[in-house]
A and B are shown apart, each in its own frame.
Chain A
Amino acid sequence: GDSVTQMEGPVTLSEEAFLTINCTYTATGYPSLFWYVQYPGEGLQLLLKATKADDKGSNKGFEATYRKETTSFHLEKGSVQVSDSAVYFCALTDNYGQNFVFGPGTRLSVLP
């Protein structure tokens, strides 16, 4: 079945460092891909999405490109801030269009 693999972390960075969180997927169809962020004590919020190959999603300085050839959707940010400390989830829509498949989440801590 469809699945999402992402580095589980925790990832600890200093403020202004470059961030990459890897996400790879297995899917039989042509899924949409998402990154969600969960700040402490809150629900998940959409960070960015891409709906087809080579699309780049971007928001709040974060970017991810839908790479069909490598089945990847890695999240990047050039300069992280303390306020980016959160758990990040990679996800895709399943082949039936009925559900999401979530990765396990990656906890990011940014130190001042």
Chain B
Amino acid sequence: EAQVTQNPRYLITVTGKKLTVTCSQNMNHEYMSWYRQDPGLGLRQIYYSMNVEVTDKGDVPEGYKVSRKEKRNFPLILESPSPNQTSLYFCASSPLGPQGVDTQYFGPGTRLTVL
């Protein structure tokens, strides 16, 4: 089944404790992206990647890191989480068409709480 998977689905942690949220897709998509969703603020992009070893900042990259060493994986790293990073996080992937990014396929989400 074609899908985007994220782990963990739920995470409660404490301020300053490094964490990684994994994202994997099995559709051979070039493009991958991370979003956070907060009430009243909609979806905001954190980082995106057009291909392996190519990453770029989205709208809200502060406090986050990513890497793209393999095409299928795009982990999100919070090196020193803070309470304002409590949010619902979504990973997405997309093939690249003639015009660039096309339909994005989303993972099920990771609900992160930082105490």
The answer to whether B105 touches A46 (Cβ under 8 A) is yes
Question: Nearest Cβ in chain B — how far from A59, in angstroms?
Answer: 12
B75 at the interface (CB under 8 A from A): no
Which of B13-21, B63-71, B76-84, B94-102 lies at the interface? B94-102
The answer to whether B107 touches A99 (Cβ under 8 A) is no
A44 at the interface (CB under 8 A from B): yes
Question: Nearest Cβ in chain B — how far from A44, in angstroms?
Answer: 4
- Distance of A98 Cα from B51 Cα, bound (Å): 11
Using Cβ atoms and an 8 Å threshold, which residues of chain A touch B104? 44, 46, 100
Known: A32-B99, A97-B99, A100-B101. A43 touches B109 (CB 8 A): yes
Known: A43-B90, A43-B107, A44-B90. A99 touches B102 (CB 8 A): no
- Distance of A98 Cα from B92 Cα, bound (Å): 13
Which of A9-17, A70-78, A102-110 lies at the interface? A102-110
Question: Nearest Cβ in chain A — how far from B67, in angstroms?
Answer: 18
Interface residues of A in 55-112 (CB under 8 A from B): 89, 93, 96-100, 102-105
Minimum CB distance partner of A44 in chain B: B106
- Distance of A34 Cα from B106 Cα, bound (Å): 14
The answer to whether B43 touches A32 (Cβ under 8 A) is no
- Distance of A97 Cα from B33 Cα, bound (Å): 13
- Distance of A102 Cα from B103 Cα, bound (Å): 13
Complex A-B, nearest 6 residue pairs according to Cβ-Cβ distance, in ascending order: A97-B100, A43-B106, A44-B106, A104-B42, A102-B43, A43-B108
Give me 16 A-to-B residue pairs in the complex whose CB atoms sit less than 8 angstroms apart, sorted by A's number. A42-B108, A43-B90, A43-B106, A43-B109, A44-B90, A44-B106, A46-B105, A49-B103, A93-B101, A93-B102, A97-B96, A97-B101, A98-B100, A100-B45, A103-B42, A105-B42
Q: Which residues of A contact B (CB under 8 A)?
A: 30, 32, 34, 36, 42-46, 49, 89, 93, 96-100, 102-105
